[in-house]
Structure 1
Amino acid sequence: MSVDTSRTIIVLRHAKADWPSVPDHERPLADRGRKDAPNSGRWLAVAGVVPDLTLCSTAARTRETWKLFAHELPERPRTVYEDRLYEAAPGQLIEVLHELPEEVRTVLLVGHNPGVQGLAEIVSGDSEGDALARLRASGFPTSAVALIDFAGPWKGLEPGVGRLRAFYTPKDGA
């Protein structure tokens, strides 16, 4: 593939989690999260963006979010559960994306804040309309989805190279 190959990163923050007496990694979704995750999946399906690959944190809440979200997609992409996404900082997320095979054009990353918000803000040099301003103002709520486009190889992903095409939050669909 050429170095100007267009790529899309779909950034999904896990849905609203519950706070039972379990370790953080094992927290399940709350009822609101179980409602919001499929709504976000339907939004992506309507947007017509189909991931080639999903990278999902191994935390229970991200796995459950992905299962509910994926059920709404026209086809389920190959999924890799990645320990390094749990509590990852933006730089760590970029390092994981640098490792993607070049044949992957669109990746969906299911992770946690503040890492996913930081990734979206750092990589997005500009945006369609007010998408970047809305992302910054909202703080990337649970079940939010950011679509970021950039051109080049995965190893070329760095601050400011992307364009935030769209930003969806559950409140947008309410």
Structure 2
Amino acid sequence: MMKRLILTRHAKSSWDDPTMADKDRPLNARGQAAAADLGQWLASRGDIPDEVLCSDAARTRETWEGIAASLDSQPRLILKPALYHASADVMLAVLRHATGSTVMMIGHNPGISEFAERIVARAPANAEFHRYPTGATLVVSFETDDWKQVDWHQGSVRDFIVPRELTA
């Protein structure tokens, strides 16, 4: 049995209102387009989550909504306040409580880039991987049937993409 993780950093957010709380910042137009592109990319590859673990920030929720619009099925969405600016260790702890076969996590830097680097056995060749820019999405497989057994450096990279590669 295999488990698959789709790890997505939220798409580009708006800084139009400097008085707005960080957690409330929405996506900007570029971010909305990127989220839709990511959804189409995932759907075209058959990488459809059955469970989504999402930070409760506005920009992560909106990223999910943009992705979800392109998917045929609607997986269970679980808003996880612990994923808001979570460290890599917190992200791993949250993942270990997942129940889906294909789980999507949507979060923030710097934690998500550290999590991505530590969860894979070997980093993808893409130069953007270590920066993990907005919208960056990693698809990784694990040789296990229980998320509780997932640990650092076990994941096999299936794919990695950043939104601008989808529009190039």
Give the TM-score of the pair, scaled to structure 2: 0.92
> Structure 2 counterpart of 1:151, which letter?
E
- 1:161 corresponds to 2:154: yes
> Structure 2 counterpart of 1:105, which letter?
S
From 141, 146, 151, the counterpart of 2:133: 141
Q: Which residue of 2 aligns with 1:54?
A: 52
- 1:120 corresponds to 2:120: no
Name structure 2 gaps, 5 residues minimum. Answer: none
Closer/same/farther in 2, CA of residues 13 and 151 from structure 1, 3 Å limit: same
2:2 and 2:142 in contact (8 A); partners too: yes
> 2:121, 2:130 → 1: CA distance?
18
Cα deviation per residue 1:91-147 (whole Å; 9 max; x = unaligned)?
A: 10000011123xx211000111112211111110026xxxx2315556111112110
- 1:11 corresponds to 2:4: no
Q: Which residue of 1 aligns with 2:101?
A: 105
> 1:142, 1:41 → 2: CA distance?
14
> 1:14, 1:150 → 2: CA distance?
23
| Residues paired across the two proteins, number | 164
Give the TM-score of the pair, scaled to structure 1: 0.89
Secondary structure at 2:134's aligned position in 1? coil
> 2:60, 2:127 → 1: CA distance?
20
RMSD: 1.3
Percent identical across equivalent pairs?
A: 37
> Structure 1 counterpart of 2:5, which letter?
I
> 1:137, 1:168 → 2: CA distance?
8
Closer/same/farther in 2, CA of residues 98 and 160 from structure 1, 3 Å limit: same
> 2:27, 2:10 → 1: CA distance?
9
Q: CA deviation at 1:75?
A: 1.0
Cα deviation per residue 1:20-59 (whole Å; 9 max; x = unaligned)?
A: 2201000111111111110011000011111110011000
